[in-house]
Amino acid sequence: MTRYNWGTANTSPPLALVDVRSMFVSVERVLDPALRERAVIVLSNNDGCAVAGSDEAKALGVQMGDPWFQLRDKPHLADLVAKSSNYEEYGAFSSRFHETVATISATTETYSVDEAFVGLPRADPAATADTLQARVRQWTGLPTAAGIGPTKTLAKVAQRHAKAIGQPLVDLTAWSPHDVGDLLATTPVSEVWGIGPRLTAGLAGLGIHTAADLAFADAGVLRRRWSVVLERTTRELAGVPCMPVGFTPKDRQQLMYSRMLGATVSTSAEMRSVLAQYAAAAARRLRAHGLDTALMQVWISSSRFRDDIAHHSAAVAFDPPTSDPLRLITSARAVLPKMRQGWPYNRAGILLTGLSPAGATPQLWPGETPSRLRLAAALDELAGRYGRGAVGWGPTGLRDRRRWDMRRERLSPAGTTSWTQLLTVR
DNA sequence: TCTGGGGTCCTAGGACCC
DNA sequence: TCTGGGGTCCTAGGACCC
């Protein structure tokens, strides 16, 4: 009989996963306290589908990914509040969250907009986590759920359990191995961090259905059958750390800008304007990160919910790498000749790869004078001060809202990111 | 009929994450 | 009518080199 005995030499320091509860909804509630205790969801771009929901919304049966047009008219959802996503605000709150976490521990790692791994002291790690959560609450207004364990994967298990039982914190390092084994035995393997649908199906074929089954499995066999990723997950469930906390993130590999269009576009003239705007946006991000790109891939496609999907892409190389918006804007047109006239396209995207620090390559391209980049920087600055529509590059068009602009009809005010929309406190 | 062996680099695609 | 937008890592396989 196998007994769960994590970390046979369980000497690793404890770590926590701290997660903002329903991040987007929680931000909306800080901006508008009247939303507390109400069923609230946040919609994806174009008000497409639900991407975040409060506990109250989930209790009504709303699932993340549900299209808004299917929820909108259901009688039992009459009281549901839906908000357009306000990524400027979520980004600002995310920064405050991570800055606050960093005031508690020297070892932290930003895992996502709403999650951080935090190294904790061996003595009473729960007390430190407690302090951290109270401080996040006080400084940002955001509620959190945290899990403590000897490995990242077990901290994730603990954090899921905390949410499931409605507690702010679960500390597995204070549990007996027997109790941890019981928790793993009641955790479906599909809920383990790193186990998706494909692996769940494959593991079921080996009789592995729960997190405990996986923790007891032969990691070497799993590595040969799948990969080192699954091996690490398996060992971590057994209490052996394989993923250190606080590693410095690797340099960014790619930068993507893709969007559904608010309305279908079927003419080259209109698509040219779409691509110009997307390329300008991608270039803006590139400069914000201080990067140049060596390869741009641009694509357009029709709805993936139709049988007859049209998808066209084109690639343009830059030697030397560049971040010049005009070069990106004109290059993005490369995909236009492939477009089927009259076809209903509803998505476009720009993927930039081959990224390197700006100016790392000696400047040989005569057309790309430093003045062009200074102009780009000036436009970035103006857009930041007066809004995205204030200035733009010729081909992106400046006139009124275009048909295909993103829909955000239920947007909250930019309460903490715009001087003109500051929150009012009564 | 035989037709090395190893290394690197790059890309495409799979799987997963939030 | 209407169905998100990013990312990462890993592996396999091809091109190329000595």
Cα distance between residue A408 and residue A425, in whole Å = 25
Distance between the alpha carbon (CA) of A337 and the C1' atom of B13, Å: 27
**Protein-proximal nucleotides of chain C (any atom < 7 Å from a CB):** 1-11
Does the C-beta of A252 come within 7 A of strand C?
Answer: yes
Cα distance between residue A232 and residue A241, in whole Å = 8
Q: Is A367 helix (H, G, I), strand (E, B) or coil?
A: coil
* Distant-in-sequence, close-in-space partners of A203: CB < 8 Å, separation ≥ 6: A189, A195, A209, A213, A214
Distance between the alpha carbon (CA) of A251 and the C1' atom of C7, Å: 12
Strand B interface, protein residues by Cβ within 7 Å: A 111-115, 156, 192-200, 295
Domains and CATH numbers, chain A: 15-20+91-237 (3.30.70.270), 23-86 (3.40.1170.60), 254-396 (3.30.1490.100)
**Protein-proximal nucleotides of chain B (any atom < 7 Å from a CB):** 11, 14-18
Cis peptide before A344 (omega within 30 of 0): no
Q: Name beta bridge partners: A311.
A: A301
| Antiparallel, parallel or unpaired: β A311-322 and A291-302 | antiparallel
pLDDT score of A391: 66
Nucleotide closest in space to A48 (CA vs C1')? C3
Look up residue A323 and give its amino acid.
S
Distance spanning both ends of chain A, measured CA to CA: 63
pLDDT score of A1: 39
Distance between the alpha carbon (CA) of A375 and the C1' atom of B18, Å: 35
* Distant-in-sequence, close-in-space partners of A102: CB < 8 Å, separation ≥ 6: A108
pLDDT score of A354: 86
pLDDT score of A8: 47
Nucleotide closest in space to A354 (CA vs C1')? B10
Does the C-beta of A254 come within 7 A of strand C?
Answer: yes
Q: Are A275 and A348 in contact, with CB atoms under 8 Å apart?
A: yes
Q: Are A335 and A298 in contact, with CB atoms under 8 Å apart?
A: yes
Cα distance between residue A316 and residue A331, in whole Å = 7
| Antiparallel, parallel or unpaired: β A40-43 and A81-84 | parallel
Cα distance between residue A263 and residue A405, in whole Å = 8
Does the C-beta of A305 come within 7 A of strand C?
Answer: yes
Structure tokens that stand for A203 in this block: 């593991």
Distance between the alpha carbon (CA) of A226 and the C1' atom of C9, Å: 13
- The residue whose CA lies nearest the C1' of nucleotide B14 is A198
| Antiparallel, parallel or unpaired: β A115-119 and A15-20 | antiparallel
Q: What φ, ψ does residue A119 adopt, rounded to 5°?
A: -75, 140
**DSSP state, residue A345:** E
Q: Is A69 helix (H, G, I), strand (E, B) or coil?
A: helix
Does the C-beta of A397 come within 7 A of strand C?
Answer: no
Q: What is the pTM of this model?
A: 0.90
Which of left, alpha, beta for A46 (phi over 0: left; psi -120 to 50: alpha)?
left
Distance between the alpha carbon (CA) of A254 and the C1' atom of B18, Å: 17
- The residue whose CA lies nearest the C1' of nucleotide C9 is A229
Distance between the alpha carbon (CA) of A84 and the C1' atom of C2, Å: 15
Nucleotide closest in space to A258 (CA vs C1')? C5
Point out the residues of chain A with pLDDT beneath 50: 1, 8-9
